[in-house]
Structure 1
């Protein structure tokens, strides 16, 4: 298995994984055109973020996105971890753990002071997974306003 940063050539395979992810999340609906546009925007500008992927024999089997911003509270660059997904046929092989380890290492290398992520409130397995890596529930709650 190879871990690397995604390129434009990976977009269609990454969109396939996002379709799986957004089909199982409560708040999102898959839309290939929108997902491909988002992937291309991230890939085109490393200041926005990076998409890390796991591949084997030319097939992408997992991905995670790191999006970058600045925290005024910390006075430093921080990351948002999004779109963590492993192909369902490859789960329970340690791929997600390797991807997350890689994302944590990359975030540290990029000078990030914190990583924030969101999971569905009902996804207890995801909570346990992230807690094993040191993530903790925050007293802050997410709120959203759709602008389009």
Structure 2
């Protein structure tokens, strides 16, 4: 398997929306919406100070993606990342692509000197939780709360 991981560009947005559709179809709190996902992906790609999206390609086909959004931690006094949207195409799962994307993000975090990476995953997604734990992520004692501006 020849896998190539690189930053996403505008030409990738349609395929990234397809991946996000797959992800948001299985997540409890979110629903696919191509218009909203296109807007967000475009915003990240056009504004590299906000974050970065990495795309995994196999034989020139997009088979996975992951994004890291940047923010500051007052507790750590440093820039930190929020890992979002790690997803592998359904027909490419089980090939180590998710692990490769995660390893790529961690190497990027070291290079950028991010002090921490945080993420959320569905409470019942045992496979994702195993992947994150194997990569060195630890379960936080913090509880996630959300407020939506309606």
Range into which the TM-score falls when normalised by the shorter chain: over 0.9
- Show the counterpart of 1:45: 47
Deviations 1:49-90 (A, max 9, x none): 000010123211000000000000000000000000001101
- Show the counterpart of 2:38: 36
- Show the counterpart of 2:123: 121
* Distance in 2 (alpha carbons) for counterparts of 1:62 and 1:110: 22
- Show the counterpart of 2:5: 3
* Distance in 2 (alpha carbons) for counterparts of 1:128 and 1:83: 16
* Distance in 2 (alpha carbons) for counterparts of 1:97 and 1:42: 23
Residue of 101, 111, 126 corresponding to 1:109:
111
Q: TM-score, normalised by structure 1?
A: 0.98
* Distance in 1 (alpha carbons) for counterparts of 2:111 and 2:125: 29
**Aligned-pair RMSD on alpha carbons?**
0.7
Structure 1: 5+ residue stretches without partners = none
Deviates more, 1:69-78 or 1:119-128: 119-128
Deviations 1:93-120 (A, max 9, x none): 1111111000111111112000000001
Q: TM-score, normalised by structure 2?
A: 0.96
Residue of 90, 95, 98 corresponding to 2:97:
95
* Distance in 1 (alpha carbons) for counterparts of 2:4 and 2:98: 13
Structure 2: 5+ residue stretches without partners = none
Task: Give secondary structure in 1 for the equivalent of 2:109.
Answer: helix
Runs of 4+ more than 4 Å apart? none
Structure 1 residue 145 displacement after superposition: 0.4
Task: Give secondary structure in 1 for the equivalent of 2:17.
Answer: helix
- Show the counterpart of 1:78: 80
- Show the counterpart of 2:148: 146
